[in-house]
Chain A
Amino acid sequence: DAKTTQPNSMESNEEEPVHLPCNHSTISGTDYIHWYRQLPSQGPEYVIHGLTSNVNNRMASLAIAEDRKSSTLILHRATLRDAAVYYCILRRNAGNMLTFGGGTRLMVKP
């Protein structure tokens, strides 16, 4: 199984950009890169996903390395409500399985 590696925790100041890294050196050609976040006492929430090209949506941006062995989730202006655990996940095209890693706990300071 392709695994992901993320830092255990990161800190950010409110209203500053945050770059959350993820390494996935064993990614296969058909694996999609997904990001979810989990706020305290809630179920995970979809953030963004991509395959090869960089992606933007209303919540965040996803920058994917050219060799696809790493990616970065970008929150353009962190708010206190963005404090959560962020999971970088690879989805196999075959079997439709999601494998969650340990995630990065993001702390946002006012």
Chain B
Amino acid sequence: NAGVTQTPKFRILKIGQSMTLQCTQDMNHNYMYWYRQDPGMGLKLIYYSVGAGITDKGEVPNGYNVSRSTTEDFPLRLELAAPSQTSVYFCASIRRREDQETQYFGPGTRLLVL
């Protein structure tokens, strides 16, 4: 298994541009998450999904959109990039089996908005 993969690894955007951050997991996990991490800070939840076709807002959803058409993919869309969206974005998925769960994180996408 490749685990959780994210593309691109790094991107520079101009203010007002749009882009999609891709996230794919090959572990057949139902739960997937998008976090952002600003320099020197902890992670903040943007959006999450408990299964295909179901998404919900996290702590900081403004300026972002998500979709979950398949179990494997959970893309994050930025419509009008702003400097405040400069951050490292992490995608994650959870395996839940009875009382056991482990969250797997991707390597991150570093985004710079100028």
Interface residues of B, count at CB 8 A? 26
Interface residues on chain A, size class:
20 to 34
Which residues of A from 75 to 109 have beta carbons under 8 Å from B? 87, 91, 95-103
A49 and B50 CA atoms in complex are apart in Å by 20
With a CB–CB cut-off of 8 A, which chain B residues contact A36?
A: 103
Main secondary structure of the interface of B (DSSP, over half): strand
Total inter-chain residue pairs, C-beta < 8 Å: 48
Partner pick for A44 among B31, B43, B44, CB 8 A cutoff: B43
Contact (Cβ within 8 A) B42 A102? yes
A34 and B42 CA atoms in complex are apart in Å by 15
Q: A100-B43, A100-B44 are in contact. Are A43 and B31 (CB under 8 A)?
A: no
Contact (Cβ within 8 A) B50 A101? no
A102 and B103 CA atoms in complex are apart in Å by 18
Nearest CB on A from B51, distance (A): 11
Q: A43-B106, A44-B43 are in contact. Are A97 and B58 (CB under 8 A)?
A: yes
